[in-house]
A and B are shown apart, each in its own frame.
Chain A
Amino acid sequence: MYSEKVMDHFNNPRNVGEIENPSGVGTVGNAKCGDIMRMYLDIDENGVILDCKFKTFGCGAAVATSSMATELVKGKTIQQALEVTNKAVMEALDGLPPVKVHCSLLAEEAIHAALWDYAEKNHIQIEGLEKPVSDISEKEEEEEY
């Protein structure tokens, strides 16, 4: 069902964990659908992503896409990180089964959510970054009417 690369990232996920006092943190997805991703970023004053960590509640593909996404943004500038799309994550994993494509979208959104948090904290605007739609806190608010 999964490619070797997906299985590798699921079994040996890279960059699992938390970053204390992160530059930005974003959580996307919702428990209803069974996938939640949280991405932590440590960004230096030049806008370079020094470190990236994640925690994920979800299926094998959700874990693997989170792991791969952290690998792809580490060491990149913010602008380069924005180019890490769901397609890029999927390609790096040698593809995903069709029903799991939404996991890669979630990984892209997790990066965006963490960057959005960073931008808000620093009162800056990141060109080309839109407010992520599936932010978990938003969803929860919606559920409360």
Chain B
Amino acid sequence: MSKRIYLDNAATTQVYPEVLEEMLPYFSEIYSNPSSVYTFASEAEKAVDKARGAVAELLNAKKEEIYFTGGGSESDNWALKAAADAYASKGRHIITTVIEHHAILHTCEYLAKNGYEVTYVGVDENGSVRLDELKAAIRPDTILISVMAANNEIGTIQPIEEIGRIAHEHDILFHTDAVQAFGHIPLDVEKMQIDMLSASGHKINGPKGIGAMYIRKGVKILSFIHGGAQERKRRAGTLNVPGIVGFGKAAELAKESMLSRSAKETELRNHLIDRVLNEIPYSRLNGDRTNRLPNNANFCFRFIEGESMLIKLDMLGICASSGSACTSGSLDPSHVLLAIGLPHEIAHGSLRISLSENNTIEEMDFVVDELKKIIEQLRSMSPLYEDFVKKQDGEHEQIF
């Protein structure tokens, strides 16, 4: 197999060496439990405190508004379930969108089975939330609006600031799942009027199994994981000190490099998008052309199926992902691609490329060159392509 080209950074990222180095002492040297009394504990406590500060800084939040969790999914579950619980006396209506991550959608389904009502707001053809629909969905008993900051599949960045304003005009709590956006694009909980925010360590070159939740001071949600008094009594469990330290370091690096990194990624991404759309017939870009995460490109190639494309890419050492049913274990293709209005057979032929600052233009060129061959080969064996070509020939005969 040739050299690996990793283009699945929306799934997870490499732990940067600086991050790992920062974490290592907290496994077997400074292994103390930060909640303990002795001096040895305070070393770990200090490291946790520093990391909390780094995460807070990326959000323009206060240190004491950051709570460490086991990851993005836990943060999403906590935000929704605990807010539903805490505000049930005010109402039982929640607004979210059709393109959320399953950590939100499946939590909403759970709440719907337990006496809550959920309205799923639609998106336009670029995957941007329809604000008029969102406003129309608001009712006197609406207690929470949860809209992701940027979509994990098609990369579209949502109008979070406007949604925050709308939510607060109606005195409704606003949560955003920022797992894909955190550390990649600027986020400001004050300016965007965010009450709760979910973030994850491993999407920003930090370790897996560590996440955070921002909870605005004054928001009255309670504990989700019950037990000890850690995290200001809101999230029990001995702190994952190495994970927290790594997350903090990754957040620090992400803040420093955000401008240059997103410029580099945007350049690579645009080069890839331009070449694919110009050189591969019957291809389309999913999501907004410009208002998208710097590292995300998502395409559909007609007449072919995503998994077979992924296997062929994998044999060349290229790691990417697809929203095809075959890669999700269900019969339906990506709910996001269906939500932006694509028919099933086109949604099955999707390819998500999520690159990093460490990729190169040469790698993008290699991917496009190989992709062209793979798609041609798969189309040559596709009955859908055969029918399409025959139909076209038929139309030509009729015209001439």
Which residues of A approach B to under 8 Å, CB–CB?
2, 7, 10-11, 13, 16, 18, 27, 31-38, 54-63, 99-100
Cα A89 to Cα B76 with chains together (Å): 44
Residues from chain A with Cβ under 8 Å of B303 in the complex: 57
Interface size (B, Cβ < 8 Å)?
24
Residues from chain A with Cβ under 8 Å of B345 in the complex: 31-32, 34, 57
Nearest Cβ distance between residue A44 and chain B, in whole angstroms?
25
**Given A10-B308, A63-B308, A36:B344 Cβ within 8 A:** no
Nearest Cβ distance between residue B388 and chain A, in whole angstroms?
11
B386, A55: Cβ atoms under 8 Å?
Answer: yes
Name the segment of B216-224, B254-262, B377-385 touching the other chain.
B377-385
Residues from chain A with Cβ under 8 Å of B229 in the complex: none
1/0 per residue B72-90: CB within 8 Å of A?
Answer: 0000000000000000000
Decide yes or no whether B333 CB sits under 8 A from chain A.
yes
Interface of B is mostly: helix
Contact of B383 among A10, A38, A59 (CB under 8 A): A38
Nearest Cβ distance between residue B383 and chain A, in whole angstroms?
4
A27, B383: Cβ atoms under 8 Å?
Answer: yes
Decide yes or no whether B167 CB sits under 8 A from chain A.
no
A59, B308: Cβ atoms under 8 Å?
Answer: yes
Decide yes or no whether B399 CB sits under 8 A from chain A.
no
A56, B329: Cβ atoms under 8 Å?
Answer: no
B304, A57: Cβ atoms under 8 Å?
Answer: yes
Decide yes or no whether B269 CB sits under 8 A from chain A.
no
Decide yes or no whether B30 CB sits under 8 A from chain A.
no
Q: Which partner residue on chain A sits nearest B315 by CB separation?
A: A11
A and B contact pairs by CB, cutoff 8 A, 10 listed = A10-B311, A16-B380, A33-B331, A34-B324, A34-B344, A36-B384, A38-B383, A55-B382, A57-B382, A62-B308
Residues from chain A with Cβ under 8 Å of B175 in the complex: none
Contact of B386 among A10, A18, A31 (CB under 8 A): A18
Contact of B381 among A7, A11, A55 (CB under 8 A): A55
B381, A16: Cβ atoms under 8 Å?
Answer: yes
B311, A31: Cβ atoms under 8 Å?
Answer: no
Q: Which partner residue on chain B sits nearest A61 by CB separation?
A: B326
Residues from chain B with Cβ under 8 Å of A100 in the complex: 326
Nearest Cβ distance between residue B282 and chain A, in whole angstroms?
13
Q: Which partner residue on chain B sits nearest A1 by CB separation?
A: B311
Decide yes or no whether B305 CB sits under 8 A from chain A.
yes
1/0 per residue B299-311: CB within 8 Å of A?
Answer: 0000111011001
B383, A34: Cβ atoms under 8 Å?
Answer: no
Decide yes or no whether B348 CB sits under 8 A from chain A.
yes
Residues from chain B with Cβ under 8 Å of A11 in the complex: 315
Decide yes or no whether B276 CB sits under 8 A from chain A.
no
| B348-400, CB < 8 A from A | 348, 380-386
Nearest Cβ distance between residue A23 and chain B, in whole angstroms?
18
**Given A31-B344, A33-B331, A13:B308 Cβ within 8 A:** no
Nearest Cβ distance between residue A132 and chain B, in whole angstroms?
15
Cα A36 to Cα B348 with chains together (Å): 12
Cα A55 to Cα B326 with chains together (Å): 18
Nearest Cβ distance between residue A92 and chain B, in whole angstroms?
20
Cα A32 to Cα B324 with chains together (Å): 11
Nearest Cβ distance between residue B304 and chain A, in whole angstroms?
7
Nearest Cβ distance between residue A62 and chain B, in whole angstroms?
7
Nearest Cβ distance between residue B350 and chain A, in whole angstroms?
11
Q: Which of B305, B315, B343, B382 has the most chain A CB within a 10 Å cutoff? A: B305
Q: Which partner residue on chain A sits nearest B386 by CB separation?
A: A55
| B319-333, CB < 8 A from A | 324-326, 329, 331, 333
